[in-house]
C-alpha cells in the first residue's frame, strides 16, 4: 500500500505520461483512420490502393517493430524529434489502420441506396460521405472504436521500453528502490484501469446518446 503513497509523484508522472500518449495518439489515429477510410472507399483507384497498402502494412507489423522502425529509422533520414513524439507517431499510425477498418465496416452497414440518392442529387463524393454516409455509419462504429482506443492505451506501454515516461516504466524506478514488485504492479494495473474504464465510460455515453436505436 505504501508503495503508492510514498512514490505518488513517480506514479503520477507515469500516469500522466500514459494519458498524454493515449490522448495524442488517439487524435492522430482518428484523423488518419478517417482519412484512410475515405481513401479506401474513394472513386479514385490510386487513393484506394494507398489506403489498402497503409492498412495492410501497419496492421500486419508488430507494434514493437514499428517503434524500432520509427525511433531508429526516421532519424537516419534526418528527422530528429523527441522520443515522445516518435512514440505518438508510431502508436497513432498503427492504431489508425484499425480505426480505418472499423470505420469502413460502419460505412458498409449504410444501405447502398443512401449514397446513390445523395449522388443522384448532385452531391460530390466528399459531400455524400460527410453529410449522408458517415453520420449514419458513426452510430454503428462507436463500440469497435472504443475497443480500439482501449487497446491503444495499453499498447502505449511499449513506449516505456524506449525511455518515454509512461506508467508501466515506473516499475523500474520503484524496484530499484527495493519496493515489493507485486504491489508496484498492482498500482500500475489500477492506473491502466482508470484510463481504460474512463474510455469505456465515454464510449458508453456516446453510444447511449447516438448509438443505433433498437
Select from 18-26, 95-103, 107-115, 198-206 the region that touches another protein (CB under 8 A). 107-115
Nearest CB to another protein, comparing residues 51 and 92: 51
Q: CA 194, CA 12: separation in Å to the nearest integer?
A: 12
Q: Say which residue the cell 487524435 belongs to.
A: 27
Q: Are 175 and 181 in contact (CB under 8 A)?
A: yes
Distance in Å, CB of 141 to another protein, minimum = 14
Q: Are 146 and 208 in contact (CB under 8 A)?
A: no
Q: Judged by CB, which is closer to another protein: 9, or 112?
A: 112
Of 130-169, which residues contact another protein (CB under 8 A)?
Answer: 131-132, 135-136
CA dihedral 99, 131, 123, 41 (to 10 degrees): 10
Question: Shortest Cβ distance from residue 125 to another protein (Å)?
Answer: 8
Number of residues in contact with another protein under rule CB under 8 A: 19
Question: Which of 48, 59, 119, 154 is the binder for another protein (CB under 8 A)?
Answer: 119
Using CB under 8 A as the criterion, what x/- string covers residues 55-94 for binding another protein? ----------------------------------------
Calculate the alpha carbon distances from 76 to 70, 80, 132, 212 in Å: 10, 8, 44, 48
- 125 and 43 in contact (C-beta within 8 Å)? yes
- Asked if residues 142 and 195 have their Cβ atoms less than 8 Å apart, the reply is no
Task: For residue 109, state whether it binds another protein (rule: CB under 8 A).
Answer: no
**In this structure, are residues 33 and 105 in contact, taking their beta carbons and an 8 Å threshold?**
no
Provide the 3-class DSSP secondary structure of residue 96. helix
Site string for another protein, 9-48 (x = CB under 8 A): ----------------------------------xx----
Choices 125-133, 141-149, 157-165, 172-180 (CB under 8 A): range interacting with another protein: 125-133
- Residues whose CB is less than 8 angstroms from the CB of residue 181 and which lie 6 or more positions away in sequence, other chains included: 171, 175
Contact residue for another protein among 74, 123, 157, 186 (CB under 8 A):
123
Contacting residues toward another protein, per CB under 8 A: 43-44, 111, 113-114, 116-124, 127, 131-132, 135-136
Amino acid at each position: 500500500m505504501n508503495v503508492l503513497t510514498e512514490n505518488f509523484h513517480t506514479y503520477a508522472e507515469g500516469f500522466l505520461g500514459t494519458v498524454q500518449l493515449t490522448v495524442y495518439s488517439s487524435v492522430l489515429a482518428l484523423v488518419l483512420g478517417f482519412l484512410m477510410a475515405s481513401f479506401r472507399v474513394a472513386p479514385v483507384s490510386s487513393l484506394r490502393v494507398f489506403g489498402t497498402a497503409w492498412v495492410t502494412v501497419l496492421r500486419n507489423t508488430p507494434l514493437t517493430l514499428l517503434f524500432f522502425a520509427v525511433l531508429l529509422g526516421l532519424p537516419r533520414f534526418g528527422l530528429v524529434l523527441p522520443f515522445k513524439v516518435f512514440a505518438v507517431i508510431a502508436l497513432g499510425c498503427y492504431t489508425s489502420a484499425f480505426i480505418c477498418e472499423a470505420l469502413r465496416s460502419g460505412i458498409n452497414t449504410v444501405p447502398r441506396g443512401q449514397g446513390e440518392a445523395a449522388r443522384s442529387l448532385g452531391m460530390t463524393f466528399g459531400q455524400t460521405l460527410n453529410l449522408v454516409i458517415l453520420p449514419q455509419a458513426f452510430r454503428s462504429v462507436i463500440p469497435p472504436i472504443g475497443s480500439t482506443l482501449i487497446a491503444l492505451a495499453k499498447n502505449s506501454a511499449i513506449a516505456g521500453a524506449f525511455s518515454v515516461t509512461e506508467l508501466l516504466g515506473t516499475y523500474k524506478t520503484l524496484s530499484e528502490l527495493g519496493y515489493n514488485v507485486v504491489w508496484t504492479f498492482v498500482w500500475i494495473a489500477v492506473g491502466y484501469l482508470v484510463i481504460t474504464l474512463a474510455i469505456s465510460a465515454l464510449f458508453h455515453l456516446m453510444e447511449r446518446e447516438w448509438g443505433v436505436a433498437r
